[in-house]
Structure 1
């Protein structure tokens, strides 16, 4: 099967960030399938363009073609919106120029929602089925975050959302909550919706940790003597990392520290604020390659999942959550809804209230007083990752669905 994937933030080889789709396509390619990726030219972490990057060969069966997103990505809301529409036009042109009539299915991964329009037009052009994946719910998320305020643009965005839901042959969501919203509020038939959750690439985790000496790593990196909570991910407005500073302030005189690993538009402000407050229990780490990130996660005592306390984020499950589980690192969940429910149901960690960060010590102290609880949550997380979040299995589930959509489209044609 030849799959055309449209993903604005597909990572170059060796880049820091979420590698879910790099790993997914690698599994498909290793199984003998061909994958062509139309990707953007902007680093999601930093908002900066990749230098001199136009086409890559990640695997003999994976071809990545970069389509420009323009130079406006970091210039506020309007600049970001312009960059999305620039990618719509450049990716559409790339799809036409490449003459990809040999593809069997078009897969568009949103956000931004405009990739769905590219996917629909190319699917129509090539007379192939369109599968729309929703990693986040747009335009709900940018509206709640205050990014999208213009009434006309909001109406247009909801029109585009509805149009794509009606015309996609199938829709894949990352959480059951997304599926419930689609079948309820958005009135999409549940027969056209499948949930395939995020997960962890256990082979990558095993490679990173096979010869990992956790005690030596902690000593070498000055981690001894504190209970370290790691946040590994984007430092952006949606992530709500200012809450961590408030928690660190209340824990200033306790043996607890925070490791903030990653990059993003809020990082410079956070660095300056930590310096202004003279917080000794926060350390910043740069965005690292996946294997290095996994070692820091494994060295930490707990992993933090956090977003702004908005209703839309109660429906999501963060990618970093599954990396924590795969490393056997207990989770501190600072998100209501799906995340809290999953963590508490399976005994993967503890909930900390994102609205009241000065109460976090009440929960963290349970770990400090009961190392056996840390070990229990660690083992539960490892079991969950292997049984229910193994990306190899999820990749095969995804592939089976794409093949079903392709065969159904052929029958109807």
Structure 2
């Protein structure tokens, strides 16, 4: 098959679609990726990239076609809206000129906003081929959760757009089973909906920590609670910081954060204000390949989200990464994410936005025997291999893609 992948975000930005593309290439398929200029999460173009640079590249054997977009800036308000719109407009106008091959199928990596599917609908109409959407964020729920819109009229209009888009997709893949209740409101045929959870890249695996690894030099001695990922509003760093403040007397408990994001400056200010610099450590971003070594040096991995109905439906992608590395998990989550950790017996959970509960859970984990924490990590790894194995899920996706392409060819032949 020749697959056209439409995604606003792609390598060198760090998203799972990168690995999925390489996985499809590894199975002998041709892949063209239509994407924008990398600028996430910093909000500025990556070095060497710009509106008039690197329009075409290669990644893992895939052809990467970039259209100009306005950078995110601080990732807020009008500037972020222009960033989203610029991709839609550029991809619709320039995409057909730069992607003229015959394709068998269109695959959309469906992060926010829902409008990024519009260029794919345009290609579907031009090429008369099936379209598969992998939903990462629910709309209009994401818009409401972000506080961007409260007007019932606007929300209703977005809902009609979502309905239009969903009903023009041949398959809608969901990353959480809990998404069904939302999506089913907007589709005419619920047979379109298929469950395809996220997986962790092969780089995430169990490693034994060595004394001479560069990662060890960055990790403090003591009981290490490690968070890896975006430092954003949704991740509820207010609760993490408050829990750390409640545990300040336990000098052996250290919070280590790997990642960056728009809340980092605020977190730095709170660390200074609350005098937590001895126990709260912001290490910044590191290559994906370093993550398993960092994880191996943690006593527990941390995942948190704010209290919101939409977040209770999601499975934060970092859960799969943590499970794949065989690490015990501390989760301040509601809903589906917490259910998975509890079902897997992979760690310890508490409710969201409750610093006292999180502090108590961390303390409980610290006081747990090493063998019990190790067992939680092993349980998580077993659960990962059963439910989230990379090869199993890519095989499932490939089968659905082949079925769609075969159905479309038969339909065309019958006309």
When normalised by structure 1's length, the TM-score is 0.92
Match of 1:114 in 2: 115
Match of 1:266 in 2: 263
Shift of 1:278: 1.1
Instruction: State the distance in 2 between where 1:85 and 1:150 align.
Output: 21
The root-mean-square deviation of aligned C-alpha atoms, in Å, is 2.0
Shift of 1:367: 2.4
Instruction: State the distance in 2 between where 1:329 and 1:130 align.
Output: 37
Instruction: State the distance in 1 between where 2:256 and 2:118 align.
Output: 39
Match of 1:291 in 2: 289
Instruction: State the distance in 1 between where 2:212 and 2:375 align.
Output: 19
Match of 2:77 in 1: 77
**Is the Cα–Cα contact under 8 Å of residues 332 and 358 in structure 2 kept in the other structure?**
no
* Aligned pairs for 1:82-97 within 5 A: 82-97=82-97
Match of 1:50 in 2: 46
2:350 is the alignment partner of 1:349: no
Task: Map Cα deviations across residues 248-295 of structure 1 (whole Å, 9 max, x no partner).
Answer: 001111232211111111111111221121112210011111011222
Instruction: State the distance in 2 between where 1:135 and 1:408 align.
Output: 26
Shift of 1:25: 1.0
Match of 1:382 in 2: 381
Shift of 1:9: 1.2
Instruction: State the distance in 2 between where 1:173 and 1:297 align.
Output: 28
* Aligned pairs for 1:162-241 within 5 A: 162-183=163-184, 185-202=185-202, 204-206=203-205, 212-213=209-210, 220-225=217-222, 227-241=223-237
Gaps of 5+ in 2: none
The 3 A distance-change label for structure 1 pair 346 and 222 is closer
Q: Secondary structure at the match of 2:352?
A: coil
The count of aligned residue pairs is: 403
Instruction: State the distance in 2 between where 1:153 and 1:73 align.
Output: 25
The 3 A distance-change label for structure 1 pair 9 and 72 is closer
When normalised by structure 2's length, the TM-score is 0.91
Instruction: State the distance in 2 between where 1:130 and 1:216 align.
Output: 45
The 3 A distance-change label for structure 1 pair 151 and 342 is same
**Is the Cα–Cα contact under 8 Å of residues 177 and 315 in structure 1 kept in the other structure?**
yes
**Is the Cα–Cα contact under 8 Å of residues 179 and 195 in structure 1 kept in the other structure?**
no
Gaps of 5+ in 1: none
Match of 2:147 in 1: 146
Instruction: State the distance in 2 between where 1:141 and 1:251 align.
Output: 33
Q: Secondary structure at the match of 1:336?
A: coil
The 3 A distance-change label for structure 1 pair 239 and 99 is same
Match of 1:277 in 2: 274
* Aligned pairs for 1:116-135 within 5 A: 116-135=117-136
Task: Map Cα deviations across residues 5-27 of structure 1 (whole Å, 9 max, x no partner).
Answer: 11111122xx5x33x11111111
Task: Map Cα deviations across residues 12-62 of structure 1 (whole Å, 9 max, x no partner).
Answer: 2xx5x33x11111111101110111111224322222223243220123x0
Match of 1:10 in 2: 10
State which drifts further: 70-79 or 322-331.
70-79
Task: Map Cα deviations across residues 59-112 of structure 1 (whole Å, 9 max, x no partner).
Answer: 23x011122221454363121112111100111223210243411001112222
Match of 2:406 in 1: 407
Shift of 1:188: 4.5
Match of 1:394 in 2: 393
Shift of 1:178: 0.8
**Is the Cα–Cα contact under 8 Å of residues 348 and 365 in structure 2 kept in the other structure?**
no
Shift of 1:190: 2.4
Instruction: State the distance in 1 between where 2:209 and 2:370 align.
Output: 21
2:314 is the alignment partner of 1:313: no
Shift of 1:401: 0.8
Instruction: State the distance in 2 between where 1:371 and 1:145 align.
Output: 39
